[in-house]
Structure 1
Amino acid sequence: MSFEALGLHPSILKALTDAGYTKPTPVQEQAVPAAIQGKDLLVSSQTGSGKTAAFMLPSLHRLADQEPSGGRTPNQERQAAQARGERPRFRPAQPKMLVLTPTRELALQVTTNTDKYAVNLRRMKAVSILGGMPYPKQMQLLSRNPEILVATPGRLIDHMESGKIDFSQLQILVLDEADRMLDMGFIDDIEKIVAATPESRQTMLFSATLDGVVGNMARRITKDPLTIQIASTTAKHENIQQRVHFVDDLSHKNRLLDHLLRDETLDQAVVFTATKRDADTIADRLNIAGFSAAALHGDMHQGARNRTLDGLRRGNVKVLVATDVAARGIDVPNITHVFNYDLPKFPEDYVHRIGRTGRAGRNGLAISLVNHSEGMHVRRIERFTKQTIPVNVVEGFEPKRSAPPRSAARPGWKPGDGRKPGQRSFGKPGAPREGGAHYRSEGAPFRTEGQREGGYRSEGGFRSEGGFRKEGGYRSEGGFRREGGGYKGSAPRTGDAPRRPWGDR
């Protein structure tokens, strides 16, 4: 199918041709004709599937066929007020289309693509309203009364409450990456924004999944929607080669990363970390090592984030070190490699991460640097993606321990089965030992080499409310279970009963 067959406005078709677009993606083939007809849409598609064009092209088509808004423009009103010797009265912006996104980067990406598609529609203006952008600049953008508003929920609420935005003329509402917005705690903001829009609006919701909370919200805010499911998040990235490299400790991981970043086939790379602090630290270390690296995370000011992304797109930044949220929406075709310096918290995020490479059908390489204690985490990712990730070893950077056997993925396998006899299954959750690797998610305790090798951490921190599972049983509230039965705090043993390997407490 061609874009002409979708029935798009001639000015939009010319912009697509000039931008090098040849044919629509599967999600565009299904979503564009239905959206042109004004139907509400619920769309589940994987990252990099072309979903921005899937909702923006039909929206531009509908708005392009409408007459310009009546009345004076804001500039004309200001000039008339000045001619009368009066102070110009502020008029709230009345957009016709609103796109909500979870992150600033994704909002800017949507705005950039919109400008590309609407380059021949002179009257069509799209602006971004984001946290981190100075208020005077945002007031200047809103004073233009743009047709299209792309915003993050928090900052949009601020302008709504101060009377700077009026949604009475809104015709189209789009929720992009709705699942991510809910994960980030924006559900109350979204409900408030939706309530401020006309019920006659067209609503399009795009999400990696349409289950659970996302599905419940989608049904509340749409009317007789058409559901389009192109591919689930578990779809295989056929054009992305995936590898796992096991590492012994932090020093081993850093040396291996430096080596892999010198691959001659590498054009640009994204290195994912679990925390903002690690992103800064690793970027600084890579710059000292001679790489052109930059960090990207949520604590950076918008100006610094924009400069970093602009440097990445221009090719001035070769290695971007980023956290999950900050990297959402990045679409740079020259990214050939993705490195998981820290494994993601959820398997779904692994799919989103590796999707930063292999864009538009190109080939890519995704490499995960994994400590031996994270074997179970790798199995979870493999079960989610329904594919096995091969383990690779680089000559000269071999780990001291061999990779765990693949049979460890069988359903009955326990995370602690590989623990050395007598090894303690608890440790102090503080800074890692000297030379030891640490693995943590934002807001979660440290994972250190001093804790058991076969264990894993749960979403909220370390496993089990009362402690870790031991060979002989589970920890009780009063202490640890003994191999021979009984718990700490029970009647003392008599005779020559064997002592526990770590001694009686």
Structure 2
Amino acid sequence: MTFEALGLHTSILNALTEAGYTAPTPVQQQAVPAAIEGKDLLVSSQTGSGKTAAFMLPSLHRLASAPYTGGAGKTAAQEAQSARARGERPRFRPAQPKMLVLTPTRELALQVTTNTTKYTSHLRHIKSVAILGGMPYPKQMQLLSRNPEILVATPGRLIDHMDQGKIDFSQLEILVLDEADRMLDMGFIEDIEKIVAATPESRQTMLFSATLDGVVGNMARRITKDPLVIQINTATTKHENIAQRVHFVDDLSHKNRLLDHLLRDETMDQAVVFTATKRDADTIADRLNIAGFSAAALHGDMHQGARNRTLDGLRRGNVKVLVATDVAARGIDVPNITHVFNYDLPKFPEDYVHRIGRTGRAGRNGVAVSLVNHAENMLVRRIERLTRQPIPVEVIEGFEPKRAAPSRSASRPGWKPGDGRNAKPGQRSFSNPRSEGGHYRSEGNPFAGERKEGGFRERSEGGYRNRNEGGFRAEGGFRSERSDGGFRGNRNEGGFRSERPAEGGFRNRADGGGFRSEGGFRAERPAEGGFRKEGGFRERGESNFRNRERDAGGFKGQRTDAPRRPWGDR
């Protein structure tokens, strides 16, 4: 199929030809015709599948086909000049966009704006601007004063301008939520609902997300009208053009040495290293620069100017290794990124899919490497269950982990992650019938060996022995005789010995003090204190506490003679 077959405006087709677009992607083939008809869309598609063009091309077609009325009224600059001529203070006229695109991050907003500029190269009267955090406020006001037809924004900054009356959505025709799942994960659900409530109900709504269930599905049902659901290359689809692998590491030093080695791969052009925290992004980027790599960090704490310079250096090829966090890397579309490294695994498997989607874009091949601690093996299994694709474990000579890598799959052939997750209990691999010995059948048994009689062995063969045999079994556990180490004495009855040697433990005191010979407390207590013979506290005659003479130790004097402090000074 060609773009001409989609029925797009001639000016848009010319711009696509100049940009090098040859054929629409699968998501574009289904989304563009439906959007041109004015239908609401719910689209689930993996990153790098051409989502931006899928919602922008039909929207531009609608705006380009509408009658142009831009010259009927005065521009904001002309109105300001007229107001000054009358001696009045110019008033800011709120922007009235025709199309609004909400994105979770600044980088994605800038990417959408950049692509829109390419698509509108032959539609000069259609203006698009990006309003996002980190941009100087006067610059934002200047962009809004142009009254753009297309407004791309992040939810937080857009709410600020709405509260100040700088934007009017009464003329809005198209609303797009790009990567809606990520916006909800970032806590923008209340902002999104407020923005949607300010738009006309007659609008066309298009929602793009990696998943359409859960909270995303509930919100989609509230803001759309009889939508067309399109699911192509969802998050669970294999990245067949991306070679994925796992390297297990012992500690941080091992991880850093292995990363340095992998970044020296001759087949690597540019790479993205994902970290869990912003501080780690700065630290790793500095360390890589010292090691001789052209590296730069990208995270949310950076000013917008610094982020733009970093991305520009990445696109120009001056930055070879970008160290970024999940949120900051959203929207990065650089075709020369050949490798993605997960320095830290993400908490959610869906984020892994977005991460590795930075490489292998537009059908190119890519490599995704995860540096995994042994304690993170469960995270790898969750990713495999989501993608239903096993990730092989590789070991590089000279960088072998001290601990062997855990088993990555079951022993039966043809197994793949997620098998049996939706099966009935009796159909799962671990519910196979047992043999007469109580053990799993040999075929499909992930554990080796069978017991002779079945079940647990008798105690005489191992396990725990009777007490007359002493402690734990002879072939393992503790020794029964403690002559050269451990606890002294034989353990004839089991447990602790009954006799206390004079040279160790608690001594048998002649005066009846100390502990009894059998253990525990002594039977007789001195009459003047301590515990009663039967146990508990002794009986007191005249008072609860006896008045004893205080010697050199403790406090001096008797209790009745203790000085009293005056309370007046407190």
Fold conserved between structures, TM > 0.5: yes
RMSD after superposition: 1.7
Partner of 1:21: 21
Counterpart mapping for 1:372-451 below 5 A: 372-407=374-409
Structure-2 separation of matches of 1:106 and 1:313: 15
Deviation, 1:9, is: 0.7
What SS class does the counterpart of residue 42 from structure 1 fall into? strand
User: Alpha-carbon deviations, 1:66-115, whole Å to 9, x = none?
Assistant: 22244221122112222323221210000000000001110000000000
Structure-1 separation of matches of 2:326 and 2:357: 12
Instruction: Provide TM-score, normalisation by structure 1.
Output: 0.81
What SS class does the counterpart of residue 229 from structure 1 fall into? strand
Structure-2 separation of matches of 1:172 and 1:353: 29
Partner of 1:326: 328
Partner of 1:450: none
Deviation, 1:248, is: 1.0
Deviation, 1:497, is: 4.3
* Change in CA separation of 1:50 and 1:407 when aligned onto 2, cut-off 3 Å: closer
Partner of 2:287: 285
Partner of 2:463: none
What SS class does the counterpart of residue 406 from structure 1 fall into? coil
Is 1:143 aligned with 2:167?
no
Counterpart mapping for 1:6-405 below 5 A: 6-66=6-66, 67-69=68-70, 70-405=72-407
The amino acid that maps onto 1:170 is L
Structure-2 separation of matches of 1:497 and 1:123: 92
Partner of 1:491: none
The amino acid that maps onto 2:84 is Q
Structure-1 separation of matches of 2:138 and 2:495: 77
What SS class does the counterpart of residue 400 from structure 1 fall into? coil
The amino acid that maps onto 1:223 is K
User: Alpha-carbon deviations, 1:20-73, whole Å to 9, x = none?
Assistant: 000000110111111111111111111111000000001011111222244221
**Bigger Rg, structure 1 or 2:** 2
The amino acid that maps onto 2:300 is G
Structure-1 separation of matches of 2:210 and 2:406: 32
The amino acid that maps onto 1:188 is E
Structure-1 separation of matches of 2:258 and 2:207: 41
User: Alpha-carbon deviations, 1:235-280, whole Å to 9, x = none?
Assistant: 0001000111111111111001001000010000000001111001
Deviation, 1:496, is: 5.2
What SS class does the counterpart of residue 114 from structure 1 fall into? helix
Structure-2 separation of matches of 1:270 and 1:413: 38
Partner of 1:423: none
* Change in CA separation of 1:496 and 1:155 when aligned onto 2, cut-off 3 Å: farther
What SS class does the counterpart of residue 382 from structure 2 fall into? helix
Higher relative contact order (CA 8 A, sep 6+): 1
Partner of 2:481: none
Structure-1 separation of matches of 2:40 and 2:223: 10
The amino acid that maps onto 1:332 is V
User: Alpha-carbon deviations, 1:315-367, whole Å to 9, x = none?
Assistant: 11000001111101111000000000011111111111111000111110000
Structure-2 separation of matches of 1:173 and 1:286: 42
The amino acid that maps onto 1:2 is T
Structure-1 separation of matches of 2:494 and 2:375: 36
Aligned positions, number: 418
Deviation, 1:179, is: 0.7
User: Alpha-carbon deviations, 1:123-181, whole Å to 9, x = none?
Assistant: 11111110111111100100110110000000000000000000011110000001110
* Change in CA separation of 1:348 and 1:413 when aligned onto 2, cut-off 3 Å: farther
The amino acid that maps onto 2:37 is Q
What SS class does the counterpart of residue 218 from structure 2 fall into? helix
Taking only the aligned residue pairs, the percentage that are identical comes to: 86
Deviation, 1:405, is: 1.8
Gaps of 5+ in 2: 411-416, 421-427, 431-492, 497-570
User: Alpha-carbon deviations, 1:187-230, whole Å to 9, x = none?
Assistant: 00000000000111111101111101111111111111111111
Partner of 1:429: none
Deviation, 1:404, is: 1.0
The amino acid that maps onto 2:229 is T
Partner of 1:480: none
Structure-1 separation of matches of 2:429 and 2:406: 12
* Change in CA separation of 1:376 and 1:413 when aligned onto 2, cut-off 3 Å: farther
Deviation, 1:413, is: 12
Structure-2 separation of matches of 1:334 and 1:324: 19
Deviation, 1:372, is: 1.4
The amino acid that maps onto 2:23 is K
Instruction: Provide TM-score, normalisation by structure 2.
Output: 0.72
User: Alpha-carbon deviations, 1:368-404, whole Å to 9, x = none?
Assistant: 0111121222111111111111111111111112211
* Change in CA separation of 1:413 and 1:315 when aligned onto 2, cut-off 3 Å: farther
* Change in CA separation of 1:263 and 1:11 when aligned onto 2, cut-off 3 Å: same
- Larger mean CA deviation between 392-401 and 105-114 belongs to 392-401
Structure-2 separation of matches of 1:57 and 1:138: 25
Gaps of 5+ in 1: 415-494, 499-505
